[in-house]
Structure 1
Amino acid sequence: MNAAGTQQEASIDLSKIKRGPIVFALIIGAFVAILNETLLGNALPELVNELGVTYSTIQWLATAYMLVVGVLVPVTAILQEWFSTRQMFLSAMILFFAGTLISAVSPGFELLLVGRIVQALGTGLMLPVMMNTILVIFPPEKRGGAMGLMGLVIMFAPAIGPTVSGLILDSTFLADIASAWRWLFILVLPLAAFSIVFAAIYMKNVSNLTKPKVDVLSILLSTIGFGGVVFGFSKAGENGWNHPQVYWPIIVGGVALLFFIWRQLKLKAPVMDLRAFKFPMFTIVSILMLVLMMTLFSSMTLIPLYLQGALFMTAFRSGLVLLPGGIVNGIMAPISGKLFDKFGPRVLVIPGLIILVAALWLFTRFDASTSTGYVITAHIIMLIGLSMVMMPAQTTGLNVLPPQLYPHGTAILNTLQQVSGAIGTALFISIMTNGTKDYLSTTSDPTAPTPAEAANGVVAGVTDAFWIGLILAIVALVIGLFIRRGKVPEGQEAASTGMHSAERQTN
């Protein structure tokens, strides 16, 4: 760290920071940004009709969003060393507000896509800043509870997204004022505006700015690498694995990532400091999150397809079926965080992964006559397991890092989530598609199956995919057996002791 960075570090007294308002600002911003990711899904058919574009074109609203977040997150580590917490958070929320406004008033697809890209820029900045701020302002023994609150938002917001969007899209009152899909953006604007005003008042600077030299080549390699991989896998579910839009981006992205990794290991001030992987517990958690997020993203994609394709539910009703699981997960996340602070990770992570394996096995039993209650129960069980694993595991991995690696650790984990989400979704969709085709090939008329045959085809494809998901969950369980509470770096322990002393004097 240079002299300027040391001087600034000394000037930041974390014992005088009021954590409550900062956490509240983070929760509001994260809730708005993450809710937005799932709000638009139900509106895609309406957008196809109203904007006069094809389904392959409209999918860019989701693909571009995922692509921008996947490209931006890896460079947030270096950005957090150049710009303060307050600057990063406010910039993220202002970008998100601007993108939402552009989307709400867009006259056609092109401007709507621009709005979604600007929204994604805000979300990509937000998520790593949120996790890094929690690491800085809370001592290790209190991070579980704080991360649990963040987990509540991260899991609850996307769970209620389809239900909320279904209510908005079905509202005739709102549709009489403006196109129904516009309300998905209009109603988010006041929340985003409130988040900006609240953060402007209460958000404080908690990071130490070292302002290292920025390696432009690393940023270029990162953009091509992560962007190519995310794009290629995101198109695989639509085009199949043998399409040039799939394999060429993955090949180019993979080569760029190899050069990116090589360059980071050579630089004194890397854009993404891979020395975080020298800490064994962080490496174990990173591998676990890679496998776990593949399972999570794919399940969240497959269950609605099963509900609508095999059980013939509407998008709104399928959203209602998934809502109880989201609510239970929201309740469980803070509880898991508090239990983590008290008992450590193993008491939560291993039972949570066993519960997850059980839930995936229940998913493999789905058929065309499965009751709604069975689906709701299986989904709730899965999210209980995930709530016991996600934040405790991530907190365990990040706790072992020294403070100067916090931005890099959070950037690495968030990047892995984006990449594994794209890989998992593409992999499971392709398995489902092939399974459905194989089943329909045995019917009397594969090109025009009866509704019952079509439903059974979806069931065949979905259960094939869930069997692979079950295998991945078992792999995650084996990895989870190696997780234990890591040793906190000595400097971090000292800082924690100082903060507690100041708290006792204040109280």
Structure 2
Amino acid sequence: MNASHVGGASPKIDASRIKRGPIVFSLIIGAFVAVLNETLLGNALPDLVKELGVPYSTIQWLTTAYMLVIGVLVPVTAILQQWFTTRQMFLSAMILFFAGTLFAAVAPGFGLLLTGRVVQALGTGLMLPVMMNTILVIFPPEKRGGAMGLMGLVIMFAPAIGPTVSGLILDSLSWRWLFILVLPLAAFSVVIAAIFLRNVSEITKPKVDVFSILLSTVGFGGIVYGFSKAGESGWSKPEVYWPMIVGGIALLLFIWRQLRLKQPVMDLRAFKYPMFAIVTVLMFVLMMTLFSTMTLIPLYLQGALLLTAFKSGLILLPGGVVNGIMAPIAGKLLDKFGPRVLVIPGLVLVAITLYLFTGFEISTGTGYIITVHILLLIGISMVMMPAQTTGLNQLPPQLYPHGTAILNTLTQVSGAIGAALFISIMSMGTKNYLESSSDPTSLTEQAQGVVAGVHQSFWIGFVISLVAVVIGFFIRRTKAPEGQAAGSADMH
């Protein structure tokens, strides 16, 4: 099933001649647009249900399909980055994203709107691993923390303002403006990348194992789909457990095949490097907690405190802004002091805040909620980019595309698992409370039911966070193998 080797390898890239400033600027603009888009649509789902005349179970496909496409595409980006240049990959990603946004903006019905979201997801799925891999290539290990921190600022700040911005738009304009206003930003990103972005990757054009791509698509796609459906349908439905079973089998076959191939689609030999392996496990646990928390807090604010989507977005805004500010600071501290002084305190702070979340009630003040949420995201910012950078630093350059693909794939999978697991725990807790209530139709009792469900979910989250703390104690500063280094050029 191997496609033939086409063409020769490109000449080796001299990173010392690369002007990093314009490249980083191009990447940041694209990342901001793509990540902002992911959170803009959440507040609009109730409006779309009414306007398009489809049930909530159908409208959920706008988010489920988006996550599903990214989960399927990201594993393949490792091989794509060895066939196409950085410039080709990034421009293709942003043009796809622009086209998808345009389809969604003019969509007359649900079908074209869903098509637009799928095309947007294709662009996002291509872009994120390329962005991370480019940072690894153009910066030496001792300067990567600051560069990854800048990316972290964008990746954290964009979703922080997303719910608030979408709330403002929906208060005065139609849902179409969520896409129309993104169009000029996406177009600007394409222009900036076309002018400034240069190729920084080495093109080797390895053989492509089509069967591995098929197994990867079925495996990761089945698991992400199954867990995504579990969050809305429960765990006992055939459309939930059959995709998970088929996906699990395909994933095991995919892993077995990658270990046997000389030129695997996703090179799992990255796990031979212990710090990368430890960081991968830590990120899986941490992202599962983060995604689920980000899902549960709005449910608590709107279901228990009966706040509007716009007000709940405002409450979450300060934490997201602080997180964005903290990301580059954490990156600089990583370069100076190493990961342990950031990762261990950050994980402890995450665990403490999740414990505090278990005490939220219907009488809890918004000031206290904002404070705890800020502390949670400070903890996340101390862990996420520093840990990822530390793990990737240990890999040799030829494994950069595979390492970034592995981390980005597991982020999507852990997000789907976390959201499904915690929502189902919350739903069960709410159901059990209302079944024992003397007046389950009362608004107060329904709000208390949401609180009971949220409490149970956050207790599980707290336990998982303790596991992350234990893993954090194994994190060490890594040295680049084989004397690897990016260029010595300074930021221009």
Match of 2:208 among 210, 214, 234: 214
Q: Is the 2:6–2:205 Cα contact (8 Å) retained in structure 1?
A: no
- What TM-score do the two structures reach when normalised by structure 2? 0.98
The number of equivalent residue pairs is 488
Q: Does 1:8 align with 2:2?
A: no
- How far, CA to CA, are the matches of 1:472 and 1:488 in structure 2? 31
- How far, CA to CA, are the matches of 1:236 and 1:7 in structure 2? 45
Q: Is the 2:101–2:120 Cα contact (8 Å) retained in structure 1?
A: yes
Match of 1:460 among 448, 452, 455: 452
- How far, CA to CA, are the matches of 1:357 and 1:239 in structure 2? 29
**Which amino acid counterpart does residue 272 of structure 2 have in structure 1?**
K
- How far, CA to CA, are the matches of 2:471 and 2:16 in structure 1? 37
Residue 343 of structure 1 corresponds to 337
- How far, CA to CA, are the matches of 1:487 and 1:138 in structure 2? 14
Q: Secondary structure at the match of 1:261?
A: helix
Q: Identify unmatched segments of 5+ residues in structure 1.
A: none
**Which amino acid counterpart does residue 297 of structure 1 have in structure 2?**
F
Q: Is the 1:41–1:162 Cα contact (8 Å) retained in structure 2?
A: yes
- How far, CA to CA, are the matches of 1:135 and 1:84 in structure 2? 15
Q: Is the 2:354–2:461 Cα contact (8 Å) retained in structure 1?
A: yes
Q: Does 1:315 align with 2:309?
A: yes
**Which amino acid counterpart does residue 152 of structure 1 have in structure 2?**
L
- How far, CA to CA, are the matches of 1:482 and 1:68 in structure 2? 33
Q: Does 1:393 align with 2:406?
A: no
Q: Secondary structure at the match of 2:354?
A: helix
Q: Does 1:112 align with 2:104?
A: no
- How far, CA to CA, are the matches of 1:198 and 1:262 in structure 2? 42
Q: Is the 1:226–1:253 Cα contact (8 Å) retained in structure 2?
A: yes
- How far, CA to CA, are the matches of 1:432 and 1:156 in structure 2? 27
Residue 481 of structure 2 corresponds to 489
Question: Following TM superposition, by how much is the alpha carbon of 1:7 offset from its aligned partner in structure 2, in angstroms?
Answer: 5.5
Higher relative contact order (CA 8 A, sep 6+): 2
Q: Secondary structure at the match of 2:11?
A: helix
- How far, CA to CA, are the matches of 1:455 and 1:307 in structure 2? 10
1:60-71 equivalent positions in 2, closer than 5 A: 60-71=61-72
Q: Does 1:51 align with 2:52?
A: yes
- How far, CA to CA, are the matches of 2:15 and 2:6 in structure 1? 20
1:21-170 equivalent positions in 2, closer than 5 A: 21-170=22-171
- What TM-score do the two structures reach when normalised by structure 1? 0.95
- How far, CA to CA, are the matches of 1:22 and 1:164 in structure 2? 28
- How far, CA to CA, are the matches of 2:73 and 2:223 in structure 1? 14
**Which amino acid counterpart does residue 11 of structure 2 have in structure 1?**
Q
- 1:5-49 per-residue CA deviation (whole Å, 9 max, x = no partner) reads 66611xx22111110111011011001001001100000011011
**Which amino acid counterpart does residue 151 of structure 2 have in structure 1?**
M
Q: Is the 2:267–2:402 Cα contact (8 Å) retained in structure 1?
A: yes
**Which amino acid counterpart does residue 19 of structure 1 have in structure 2?**
R
TM-aligned CA distance change 1:3 to 1:126, over 3 Å = closer
1:172-211 equivalent positions in 2, closer than 5 A: 175=173, 180-211=174-205
Identity, in percent, stands at: 78
- 1:139-162 per-residue CA deviation (whole Å, 9 max, x = no partner) reads 000000000011111111111110
Question: Following TM superposition, by how much is the alpha carbon of 1:99 offset from its aligned partner in structure 2, in angstroms?
Answer: 0.1
- How far, CA to CA, are the matches of 2:328 and 2:449 in structure 1? 40
Question: Following TM superposition, by how much is the alpha carbon of 1:445 offset from its aligned partner in structure 2, in angstroms?
Answer: 4.1
**Which amino acid counterpart does residue 122 of structure 1 have in structure 2?**
G
Match of 1:469 among 461, 470, 473: 461
- How far, CA to CA, are the matches of 2:338 and 2:25 in structure 1? 25
- How far, CA to CA, are the matches of 1:345 and 1:3 in structure 2? 42
- How far, CA to CA, are the matches of 2:483 and 2:112 in structure 1? 49
- Which 4+ stretches in 1 moved above 4 angstroms? 2-7
